[in-house]
Amino acid sequence: MTPQRIAAKFLVEPDPAAAVALEPVIGLFHRFIQEQSLPGLLLDVADYAHVPDGPGVVLIGHDVDYGIDLSDGQAGLLVVRKRFAGQAFGEVLRDTLGRALTAAQAIGQESDLGLRFASDALTLHFFDRLVTPNSDEAFESVRGEVEPVAECLYGAASYEISRVRSEDRRKALSLSIRGSGEIAPPSALIERLSA
C-alpha cells in the first residue's frame, strides 16, 4: 500500500545550520503561483517563520506542498506529496523526488535568494501511521520500494540508505539516502527519474 503522504527534503548547501532569510521566499512563492512555475495546482503561501524549527514558509498546493523547512535545525527544501489515491508506491516516490528536484532547480536559479540545495543526499518521510509506522518491519518494506529509486538517482552500489528518527517510534518513518561518487546535476537526476 502507498502511504498517505510522502515527503522529501534536500538540505541547503553549504551549511544547512546557517540562518536562512525567509521573507524573500514569501515573495518568490507568490510569484511561483502567479506564473505557475512548479508542477501541481498551487493554492497559497503559508508563513510559519515565527515557529522555531518549524515549516518555515510553505507553498501550499492541492497535491503537493513545497516549503523552505527549518525542522531538526537544518534548513532545506521539503516537498510533501499528497492526494495520489490509487497510485503505486514506487510511482509516487519517483514523482515526489522529481517534483522536489524541479523545485530545487527553480529556487536555485533565483540568484537574489542565494539558496542552493545539495542533491547528493536527501531524507524521506512517510506520513501514515497505519501503513508505514515507525517500525523495523515497515522500514524493511519501504526500503524495498526506495532502493530502485535510489539506484535510478545515484547508480547501483553508489548509495547508502539508513533509517533516521528511529529512536522515537511516535515520529513518522524516515530514512536518508546518500549518494557517493560523482553526482549528476539536478536536471540529469530529473531525467533519470522520468525515464
Partner 1 sequence: MSHASWKQTLEGRIDPGWAEEIDHFEGQLELRRQGKIEEKVFAETRLRRGVYGQRYDNGKRHDGVAERPLAFEEKPTKGPDTLWDAPGMQRIKIPFGGVSPEQLEVLAELAEDYSDNILHVTTRQDFQLHFVHIEDTPDLMRRLAAVDITTREACGNSVRNVTACPRAGVCRGEAFDVSPYAHALMRFLLGHPDVQDFGRKFKPAFSGCEHEACGLVQMHDGGYVARMRDGKRGFKVVVGGGLGPVPHQAQVLSEFTPEEELLPQMQAVCRVFARLGEKRNRGRARIKFLVAKLGIEEFRRLVEEERVTLPHDDRWTAFLDDMPHTSGEAVLEPGPLGDAGRSPGFEAWHRSNVYAQRQEGYAMATVHLPLGDMTSDQARSLADIARRFAGENLRTTVDQNVVIRFVPDAELPALYEALCAVGLGAPGAGTIADVVTCPGTDTCKLGIAASRGLGSEMIRRLQAKAGTLPEAVEALSIKASGCFNSCGQHHISDIGFYGNSRKIDGRTVPHFQVILGGQRQENGGSYGLAVGSVPSKAVPLAIEALTGAFAEGREPDESFQAWSARLGKRSMRELIKPLMSVGPYAEEPEFYSDWSDVREFTIGDLGVGECAGEVVSLFGIEVVKAEAQAFDAQIALDDGDAGGAESLAYAAMLSAARALVRTEFIDVTEQPEDVVAEFRTRFFENERFFDKYAKGKFGAYLLERHANPDTTVDDALAARRIEEAQLFIEAAHACEARMTAEAAEVPA
Residue numbers at the binding site for partner 1 (CB under 8 A): 1, 4-5, 26-27, 30, 33-34, 41, 43-55, 58, 60, 62, 65, 71-72, 82-83, 127-133, 138, 141-142, 168, 170-172
In angstroms, give the least distance from the CB of 186 to partner 1.
Answer: 25
Residue 55: which of 64, 44, 46 has the closest Cα? 46
Q: Give strand pairing partners of 5.
A: 82, 127
Choose between 133 and 155: whose C-beta lies nearer to partner 1. 133
- Comparing CB distances to partner 1, the nearer of 13 and 72 is 72
Among residues 69 and 120, whose Cβ is nearest to partner 1? 69
Smallest distance, Å, CB 34 to partner 1? 5
For 107, 110, 182, the CA distances from 115, given in Å and listed in that order, are: 7, 8, 22
Residue 5 contacts residue 82 (beta carbons within 8 Å): yes
What are the residues whose beta carbons fall under 8 Å from the beta carbon of 163, sequence distance 6 or more? 139, 174, 175
Q: Minimum CB separation from partner 1 for residue 40, in Å?
A: 11
Partnered with residue 127 across adjacent β-strands are 5
Q: In angstroms, what is the minimal distance from the CB of 179 to partner 1?
A: 26
